[in-house]
Chains A and B, each alone.
Chain A
Amino acid sequence: MAEGESPVVLPDDPDAGPEVQVDYPGYRSTRWRVAERPLVTLPEEFHSLDGPVFGEDALGELDDDLTRQHPGEPIGERIIVTGRVLDEEGRPLRGTLVEIWQANAGGRYRHEVDQHPAPLDPNFSGAGRCLTDDDGRYRFVTIKPGSYPWGNHENAWRPNHIHFSIFGRQFTQRLVTQMYFPGDPLMEFDPIATSVRDPGARALLVARFDLDTTQPEWALGYQWDIVMGRGGAGTTPLENPR
Chain B
Amino acid sequence: MTLPRTPSQTVGPFYSIGLSRAPQNELADPRDPAALRLIGVVVDGQGTPIPDGMVELWDPVGRRWGRSGTDSEGRFSFVVTKPGTFPGEAPRFDVLVFARGLLKHELTRVYFPDDADANAADPVLAGLDETSRATLVAEAEDGALRFDIRMQGDGHTVFFAH
Closest 5 CB pairs of A and B: A101-B18, A29-B101, A33-B101, A52-B65, A39-B161
| Segment at the interface with A among B7-15, B32-40, B112-120, B139-147 | B7-15
CB contact list, B11-66 vs A, under 8 A? 11-19, 21, 44-46, 48, 50, 52, 58, 60-61, 63, 65
Tell me which residues across on chain B come within 8 A of A100, comparing CB atoms.
18
Cβ of A214 within 8 Å of any chain B Cβ, yes or no, is no
How many pairs of A and B residues are in contact by the CB < 8 Å rule? 201
* Contact count band on B: 35 or more
Please judge, given known A-B contacts A201-B7, A227-B3, whether A21 and B103 are in contact too, CB under 8 Å.
Answer: yes
Alpha-carbon separation in the docked complex, A193 to B99 (Å): 16
Best-surrounded residue of A89, A176, A225 (most CB of chain B within 10 A): A176
Tell me which residues across on chain B come within 8 A of A233, comparing CB atoms.
161-162
CB distance from A184 to the nearest CB of B (A): 14
CB distance from B100 to the nearest CB of A (A): 5
Residues of B within 8 A of A (CB): 1-19, 21, 44-46, 48, 50, 52, 58, 60-61, 63, 65, 86-87, 94, 96-107, 123-124, 127-128, 132, 151-153, 156-162
| Segment at the interface with B among A5-13, A70-78, A107-115, A215-223 | A107-115
Chain A residue at smallest Cβ distance from B11: A176
CB distance from B44 to the nearest CB of A (A): 4
